[in-house]
Amino acid sequence: MGITSSYVHPQLQHLVAKMTLFDTFLFYVIHFVDKFGAWHRLPVLIGLCYMGIRRHLRQRYNLMEVGSGSKSGSATGRTYDTKEFCYRTADGKCNHPSNHVIGSRGTFFGRNMPPSASNYGLMDPHPSVVATKLLARKKFIDTGEQFNMIATSWIQFMIHDWIDHLEDTQQVELRAPHEIASACPLKSFKFFKTKRISTGEPDMKFGFLNTRTPWWDGSVIYGNNEEGMRRVRAFKEGKLRIGGDGLLEHDEKWIPISGDVRNCWAGFSLLQSLFVREHNAVCDMLKEHYPDVDDEKLYRYARLVTSAVIAKIHTIDWTVELLKTDTLLAGMRVNWYGLLGKRFKDLFGHICGPVLSGLVGLRRPNDHGVPYSLTEEFSSVYKMHSLLPDKVILRDITNSTNPNYEFPLVSQEVPMTEMTGKEGERRMSKIGMEQMLVSMGHQASGAVTLWNYPSWMRNLIPHDINGEEVPDPVDMAALEIYRDRERGVARYNEFRRNLLMVPITKWEDLTDDYEVIEALSEVYGEDVEKLDLLVGLQAEKKIKGFAISESAFFIFLLIASRRLEADRFFTTNFNPKTYTEKGLEWVNKTETLKDVIDRHFPDMTAKWMRCSSAFSVWNAPPDKTNYIPLYLRPAT
Ligand code: HEM
């Protein structure tokens, strides 16, 4: 049953026409709460209800399949014997219970909303003008104590697990207009277009392919295909290759041997090596308990366990630090454990459905009728390169004898440009894993806000999928504006409408900062519809505790649940038979990144970490409550 109302913007009528009466009621509740901006000040449980309503509507209206009839879409999939494939395959095939292709490498990005209906061109306004006047870093702005460089590297580590757009062989050149050319490190730069693939569908004529496996399957360390997987495996006792110093092994050209080496830097490869160690430790544990299991099976079990540990850390540790509020902590723990909490789930298992027992361990995966993929909008809201600083601040960890936390002194500052690619790898091997972890732990990341896009990324030499430098440097800030437009991602206001959020009507609705309002007017005039998504997300007033905007958050929320709920290995097959008894125990006992670091460097965190989460700045005072609301805390 549909509704009509003058309150609903014309662009939303297609969506509203499909709504049931119940959805319509929820729609108005959301608009009411949004308009008065009060929800986040309400207590945790009301916040949770609000998030639940949001998620319900999103699952019905914000999931779209792209290319269902094309050869890179779900149409080519076939049924298969799920019992035969009770492990994560090299290219992500055989996860969906009845279609072997869904979610595999080389399938379409989905969408959370239709491609943009706006008629603004690719150059309106010129991406280099937007980059120079609104994004370019003036002075480094950090996140204070909330988020450190481990957290920043972590999200890159996750992006390289999930998404990457296939490029065309055709190049585009962007030339900075004369008025701003002197402020651009590159007056012009070339890059490859994103490859457009025809879908054969009338509504969505083209789409783009994901060259990584979108499942949460650890492909960042295991690779995205058979060849990649063979490169990283030791083929002994299930293990992965690792260097003698505990860091990644390198080939003769100093390119790291790991699942994904595109655009890598030292912080990113540090996390890869930490989780290779974790994988190998799982293998040792399994070998001890199941001595007869062969190399292949040990590898498969250890991959399942390590991927689940990564997913759990992201859900209940990283996300909570990014969106530091009680509501989110509760929400993310509910995603994993359910409202009844960990203790109940440990005792009785998953017996009460997704709300009470969580998404993990559901009897069947649920894709809400739309084959699983990650989406264009998801890629757009995660473009958070402003998190990156200009330099890495190294700490001296050799001179302490104090058994309690001691502040490590600064020993050296290294420009980020010297920490990327092969040069970064060489430096890392001298620095070593412990010093790098302590240094990154003590360094705050950049804030996701305007005028904080790293200058060094405006003249960046990217690395291709083989870890080799590409010949042409790019201005990443301008390129990212171009990418969203090229891929038909809605601009800010259209994006908000499609998420059932109230659009802005004037710049003052977005921010109170007069300097920002002036700059927005200079670039976009008074046309708020023209505002690019990336700029809007960075300019938006943030909810207290959130390191990102509320508009981005709703895509996060939807996709965070979907990554767990749609995956057979987090639902039907999240059991001792698939993971082994001891493997599942390993996942259940690991809660945070600190647990993993402690496992491999038993004394390090005691000495150098004062805060509660490995993702907040390590000299920050511990969170007294450890950020767990009373009713979710296990009884002592
Ligand atoms: C030294 C660190 C990093 C380097 C050198 C780097 C470089 C790059 C490059 C060259 C691209 C491709 C640009 C294009 O052609 O469109 C890219 C894409 C991307 N990066 Fe980074 N990046 C780094 C860290 C990060 C971090 C910390 C994030 C945080 C969220 C991030 C998120 C993304 C996302 C979401 C994409 C788009 C992927 C896609 O959908 O194709 N990157 N990065």
How far apart are the C-alpha atoms of 602 and 605, rounded to whole Å?
Answer: 7
76 Cβ partners below 8 Å, 6+ apart?
101
81 burial (CB, 10 Å; 0-12 / 13-18 / 19+) is: exposed
- Report pLDDT for 35: 61
- Pocket-testing residue among 112, 165, 383, 537, ligand 1, by greatest number of atoms within 8 A of Cβ: 383
Burial profile 514-538: b = 16 or more Cβ within 10 angstroms, e = fewer: eebbebbeebbeeebebbbbbbbbb
Q: What is the CA radius of gyration of the chain?
A: 24
What is the model's pLDDT at position 625?
A: 45
Distance CA 12, CA 494 (A): 9
Question: What would the two tokens of residue 501 be?
Answer: 């959020």
Tell me which DSSP letter residue 364 carries: S
Cα first-last separation, the chain: 51
Q: Whose CA is nearest to atom 26 of ligand 1?
A: 156
- Protein residue closest via CA to atom 1 of ligand 1: 265
Question: Which residues make Cβ contacts (< 8 Å) with residue 378, sequence separation at least 6?
Answer: 112, 163, 555, 559
Is 385 annotated to bind ligand?
yes
Which amino acid residue places its CA nearest to atom 8 of ligand 1? Answer: 263
Q: Whose CA is nearest to atom 3 of ligand 1?
A: 263
- pLDDT at residue number 27: 67
Residues of the chain with pLDDT under 50: 1-7, 625-636
Q: What is the pLDDT of residues 46-80, one digit of tens each?
A: 666 777 777 777 777 788 999 988 888 888 899 99
Q: What is the DSSP secondary-structure string of 562-630? A: HHHHT-GGGTTT-SHHHH-HHHHHHHHH--SHHHHHHHHSTTHHHHH--SSSTTS-TTSPPPTTTT--G
Give residues (CB < 6 A) around ligand 1.
152, 155-156, 159, 163-165, 191, 263, 265, 379, 382-385, 387-388, 420, 462, 479, 483
Ligand 1 center to 476 CA (angstroms): 9
CA 384 – ligand 1 centroid, Å: 8
Neighbours of 70 (CB within 10 A): 20
- d(CA 268, ligand 1 centre) in Å: 12
Residue 423: strand, helix, or coil: helix
Q: How far is CA 298 from CA 15, 83, 249, 257, in A?
A: 48, 17, 21, 20
User: Which residue's alpha carbon is at the smallest distance from atom 24 of ligand 1?
Assistant: 156
Pocket probe for ligand 1: among 105, 191, 263, 419, the residue whose CB has the most ligand atoms within 8 Å is 263
Atom of ligand 1 at shortest distance to CA of 483? 16
Task: Indicate if 178 belongs to the active site.
Answer: yes
Helix, strand, coil share (%) of the chain residues, nearest 5: 45, 10, 45
Query: How confident is the model at residue 210, as a pLDDT?
Result: 98
Phi, psi of 272 (to 5 degrees): -60, -45
Name the CA dihedral angle for 151, 229, 311, 95, rounded to a multiple of 10 degrees: 150
Q: Label residue 488 left, alpha or beta by phi (over 0 means left) and psi (-120 to 50 means alpha).
A: left
Pocket test of ligand 1: the residue of 109, 148, 156 to mutate, having most ligand atoms within 8 Å of its CB, is 156
Nearest to 489, CA basis, from 538, 548, 551, 532: 532
Interface predicted TM-score of the whole assembly (ipTM), two decimals: 0.99
Q: Is 482 a catalytic residue?
A: no
The atom of ligand 1 lying closest to the CA of 383 is: 35
Amino acid at 322: L
How much distance in Å is there from the Cα of 151 to the middle of ligand 1? 15
Expressed in angstroms and rounded, the spacing between residue 263 Cα and the centre of ligand 1 is 7
**Residue 63's closest CA among 371, 360, 493?**
371
Residue (of 193, 179, 194, 172) closest to 128 by Cα position: 179
Mutate to test the pocket of ligand 1, among 385, 387, 423, 538 (most ligand atoms within 8 A of CB): 385
Closest residue CA from atom 37 of ligand 1: 379
Atom of ligand 1 nearest to the CA of 164: 41
Distance from the alpha carbon of residue 379 to the mean position of ligand 1, in angstroms:
10
Name which of 44, 71, 76, 57 is nearest 15 in CA terms: 57
Write down the pLDDT at residue 501: 86
Give 201-254 pLDDT, tens digit per residue. 888 899 999 999 999 999 999 999 999 999 999 999 999 999 999 999 999 999
Instruction: Name which of 588, 599, 587, 592 is nearest 623 in CA terms.
Output: 592
Q: Is the dihedral angle over the CA atoms 349, 89, 243, 261 positive or is it negative?
A: negative
- Which atom of ligand 1 is nearest to 152's Cα? 27
CA 480-265-279 angle, to 5 degrees, is 115
pLDDT of amino acid 405 = 63
How much distance in Å is there from the Cα of 164 to the middle of ligand 1?
9
- Cis peptide, bond prior to residue 403, ω within 30 of zero: no
Tokens of 468: 């080799």
Phi, psi at 407, each rounded to 5° = -75, 120
Both tokens of 388, joined, read 């990156």
pLDDT of res. 403: 56
Q: Which atom of ligand 1 is nearest to 263's Cα?
A: 5
CA of 385 to the centre of ligand 1 (A): 7
Exactly one of 382, 453, 524, 627 is catalytic; which is it? 382
Distances (CA, A) of 166 to 67, 171, 195: 15, 13, 6
